[in-house]
Amino acid sequence: MGRFIVRRLIQAALSLFGVLTIVFFVVRLTGNPVRLLVPQNASAADIARLTHQLGLDRPLLDQYGTFLVNILHGNLGYSYVQSQPALGIVLGRFPNTVELAISALCFSLVFAIPIGFLTAYFRGKWIERLLMPVVALGQSMPAFWSGILLVLVFAVHWRILPSSGQGGIKALILPSITLGMITLASIARISRVSFLEQLNKDYVRTARTKGASTARVMVVHVFRNALLPVITMVGLEAANLLGGAVITEEIFAWPGIGQLTVQSVQSSDFPVVEAVVLVASAVYILTNLSVDLLYGIIDPRVRIKRVGSR
């Protein structure tokens, strides 16, 4: 297990290196950010002066070398726009993204797994016919529609929830629903399929025939087996959510890294773009790693296979 984790961590470091290299060169294809920084009346000499001061006139490979050396020192440079350390800016926003992601994920799980189970268990009954269209609706409504709809209803019309911003549980509700709705739909669908598959398995019939109660069959046998694909899905969704939710954060003025990504890309703030990508990809890779480890805990077969394949 230890060696497995070490191997995965080395792979993760290599992936991060690749991602950072790509980002470093791609952002620099978009032109000189100084043109966006200087006042409109700046002369060519003013532009050249600030370009030089920011080191952007140096050869690209030279800049890349400095970039790599600085990364090894945990330094991703200073934001051109905010004149503060780029990594600090991103890490300062990250807890907000985590807060929203966890809350959205909780919202979607609380509804998705029961919906998945009910639609599988009552297949062809009215419950399925009622719930499945709701799920489809949730999946097909884009955040910029559902978010504004929720704001109009709950903040403008009834005034029971804040329309935007951060602060307390109340401010979390609408953005979490907006963001969680899409996740809810995908998790509900995958759990429905997974439950359906398990319900038809022989071990369920065996358990029933040996006299186990329906509740016991469901909770002890079916749930545990059905959760495996669900966990993979949840892992992927969690990683996505932790990477920042651009539209939801934009609508609800949520100061997470999604909003920061948009702003820093728009203003060609290279160091912040690089730091955002670094943090988002690290989170993605680590979330997937944790899902793999969790798999082993839930399903011993996976663990054995890994040991065997060593």
Partner 1 sequence: MRVGVEFRWSRFLSGRLGMMSRFLTRMRGVIIAGAAMSLVLASCGASTSASSSTTAVSTAPKTLVIDQSNSPATLDPGLQYDSDSVAVYRNIFDQLLRRNQSTMKIVPWVATSWKNVNPTTWIFNIRKGIKFTNGMPLTGADVAFSINRILSPSFASPQFANFSVIQSATAKGQVVTIVTKAPSATLLTYLTTLSIVPEQYVQQVGNQAFDLHPIGSGPYKLVKWVQGSEVLLAANNSYWAGKPPYPFVEFRTVPNAASRVADLQSGAADIALTLSPDNAAQLKGSTGIKVIADPTEAVADLYMNSLQGPTQSLQVRKAIAYAINYSSLIKNVNLGYAKPVKEVLTPDSFGYTNTVPGFSYDPAKARQLLAASGNPHPSLVFPTSPAFSPTVVQAIQADLEAVGFRVSIVTTDQPTFLQKIQSPAHNWGQIRYGIWNCGCADADGTIYPLFHSGSVWSSYSNAQFDQLVTAARTTLNTAQRKQDYREAFAVLQKTVPAVGLWQYYAIYGVNKNITWNPGPQETLFIPQIHWKG
Among 19, 23, 86, 93, binds partner 1 (CB under 8 A): 93
Q: Which of 173, 204, 212, 294 binds partner 1 (CB under 8 A)?
A: 173
| Contact residue for partner 1 among 21, 84, 213, 214 (CB under 8 A) | 84
Nearer to partner 1, 1 or 106 (CB): 106
Binders of partner 1 among residues 50 to 69 (CB under 8 A) are 50, 53-54
User: CA 308 to CA 310: how far, in whole Å?
Assistant: 5
Per CB under 8 A, contacts with partner 1 among 271-290 are none
User: Which CB, 81 or 101, lies closer to partner 1?
Assistant: 81
* Minimum separation from the CB atom of position 270 to partner 1 (A): 11
Query: CB of residue 107 vs partner 1: minimum separation in angstroms?
Result: 7
One residue of 1, 17, 22, 31 binding partner 1 per CB under 8 A: 31
CB-nearer residue toward partner 1: 47 or 199:
47
Distances (CA, A) of 123 to 78, 93, 117: 57, 44, 10
Q: Which is nearer to partner 1, 40 or 309 (CB)?
A: 40
Helix axes 257-266, 270-298, angle to 10 degrees: 150
Q: Per-residue contact track with partner 1, 132 to 171, x per CB under 8 A?
A: --x---------xx--xxxxxxxxxx-xxxxxxxx--xx-
Cβ 203 to partner 1 shortest distance, Å: 35
76 binds partner 1 (CB under 8 A): no
Residues 6+ apart with CB under 8 A from 243: 257, 258, 280, 283, 284
Nearest residue to 110 (alpha-carbon basis) of 170, 184, 182, 191: 184
Q: In angstroms, how far is CA 244 from the centroid of its own chain? A: 6
Tokens representing residue 159 in the block = 């005034």
Give the Cα separation of 65 and 83 in Å (integer). 22
Binders of partner 1 among residues 187 to 246 (CB under 8 A) are: none
Pairwise CA distance, residues 259 & 272, whole Å: 12
Q: Give 10 or 106: the residue with its C-beta nearer to partner 1.
A: 106
Q: Which of 195, 226, 221 is nearest to 208 (CA)?
A: 221
Give least dist CB 129 to partner 1, A: 15
In this structure, what DSSP letter does residue 164 have? Answer: S
Which stretch, 14-22, 63-71, 209-217, 257-265, contacts partner 1 (CB under 8 A)? Answer: 257-265
**Total number of residues binding partner 1 (CB under 8 A)?**
69
Residue type, 240: N
Cβ at position 55, least distance to partner 1 in Å: 10
**Distance between CA 80 and CA 85 in Å, rounded?**
10
**Spatial contact of 204 and 128, defined as CB atoms under 8 Å apart:** no
Burial 186-220 (b: 16+ CB within 10 A, else e): bbbbbbbbbbeebbeeeebeebeeeeeeeeebbee
Question: Which residues of the shown chain bind partner 1 in the complex (CB under 8 A)?
Answer: 30-33, 35-44, 46-47, 49-50, 53-54, 81-84, 89, 92-93, 96, 107, 111, 134, 144-145, 148-157, 159-166, 169-170, 173, 176-177, 250-253, 255-256, 259-260, 262-263, 266-268
